[in-house]
Chain A
């Protein structure tokens, strides 16, 4: 069982559209994990049935029991996150600011502060249109995206893949280089970076690859919309060579991606045109690379 993680640094490069296409092409050999839990979109193309849903609790939240509070203010003094406010001589916890460190509850002289488990989101196991399974999630508004829900989604996908003897786990990662990205990279056998030939796209690619190097992971790159700026495409190609990154493909700017999305389809379902072939070749190249 091999784990492929698709990731992009910059948002809007076509990462999710491509991952969904790979999931479609991979069919029943692939268990899909949507680890972009902060703004999950893959379900819009793969049509999961949300068959199993479960709440996800992560971290804690301070709660002040007013009848035991003697208004000494010690909790507010020690809180480094300004999460405890005094409103008309009543101490209250700002639930968006509280990081759940528990310091306040440990020093409260009357034990008036308890830590409650924090509902961070919901996760699902679904059957998707290919007949295979997808693990996905929805992070609660303003929740702490520390990577724990990402890890949960990935681990559940791994379990299923092992139980059902599947060849691949395909992971859609989140943008950026912080906690959720680090969490989605752990355990990857191959990382597919999706970029676009723009000054910001290239800048973010380099930062992302610096992170990937820290984990000594094998990586390849797809340059999407390569014809928007052929000069920068060339610069990216040179960078890939220098850094020994597999150049998987150059995909042209193509509005079929959006037309397909509007119909709730992956682009490989929507069209038989050249872009479908290119994506198929990319998928085969990725599979060859991790055999």
Chain B
């Protein structure tokens, strides 16, 4: 059972919801929380637990072997990303542009471009009782988030049984990293703010989930600010409104300190309960 917590707009509370939901739910069962916002991973800042595993993560990029190369030019011709360029008698490889398709390497008649691993980030695993936490961080200067997201998901699928509850903290937006995170989950929670920016970006996120044919529900964060547009939209589009987290200075302050909220603010915990009831219904339905 995999649930992704996503949003069009950044800063609407994805990490707040992911960490609190995972931690609260882990009081009753095993939960695996994975921070897949690899560019700016924040979930770990809210959790305790000792780091047990740290793994470097690599992507495969070609390396030029001058002695074997006949300068035939095929590698440059087959690279659609301009990551392999022939300059005079030299082949230059730009690893940050490389998508790792292997075309240059495997189509080189002289095997002069073997693929070698290049570090792109690291994966950390820590555990606090029933809560398993995995975080991947992209090295600063690495531009492509998708390969690291993909490897992190593979790691989770290999390590944990399928019937565990998985929560993915997704990156913001609606482009390739978000698709990579959400494409194989069972349910997506879209969290938004009831403001014009939040509403506009929610509509994009809804469109994305419909394109992916993913079941989803909406959580309104900072309920009370802005206007009614998000609520009206959900009603009109028949989208399940899972919960409304009140706009409360205590929540903002706890978040700013990197603390979990559900034990401190009962109104917040009540909303989490609603989400958990919903998730459990889906889980039971899925198992049956």
Contact = CB atoms under 8 A, between A and B. Distances in A.
Interface stretch (B9-17, B232-240, B271-279): B9-17
A258 B15 CA distance: 22
B1 interface: no
What is the predominant secondary structure among interface residues of chain A facing chain B?
Answer: loop
Contacts of B103: 78, 101-103, 106
Interface residues of A, number: 58
* Most central of A8, A143, A261 by chain B CB within 10 Å: A261
Interface string A80-115: 110000000000000010011111001100000000
Interface stretch (A123-131, A194-202, A281-289): A194-202
Nearest to A96: B179
Interface string B96-136: 00011111001100000000000000000000000000000
* Most central of A13, A39, A78, A196 by chain B CB within 10 Å: A39
A16 B172 CA distance: 15
A228 B255 CA distance: 10
Nearest to B176: A144
A199 B173 contact: no
Interface residues of B, number: 57
Given A38-B173, A145-B176, A176-B39, A262 B196 contact: yes
25 contacts: A10-B42, A16-B197, A39-B173, A60-B80, A80-B102, A81-B101, A101-B103, A103-B107, A107-B107, A141-B204, A141-B211, A142-B178, A143-B175, A143-B176, A176-B40, A177-B138, A178-B142, A198-B257, A207-B40, A214-B140, A229-B257, A258-B195, A261-B195, A262-B227, A264-B196
Interface of A: 8-13, 16, 38-39, 41, 44, 59-60, 78, 80-81, 96, 99-103, 106-107, 139, 141-145, 147, 174-179, 182, 196-201, 203-204, 207, 210-211, 214, 228-229, 232, 255, 258, 261-262, 264
In order of increasing CB-CB distance, the 4 nearest A-B pairs are A12-B11, A11-B10, A199-B258, A101-B101
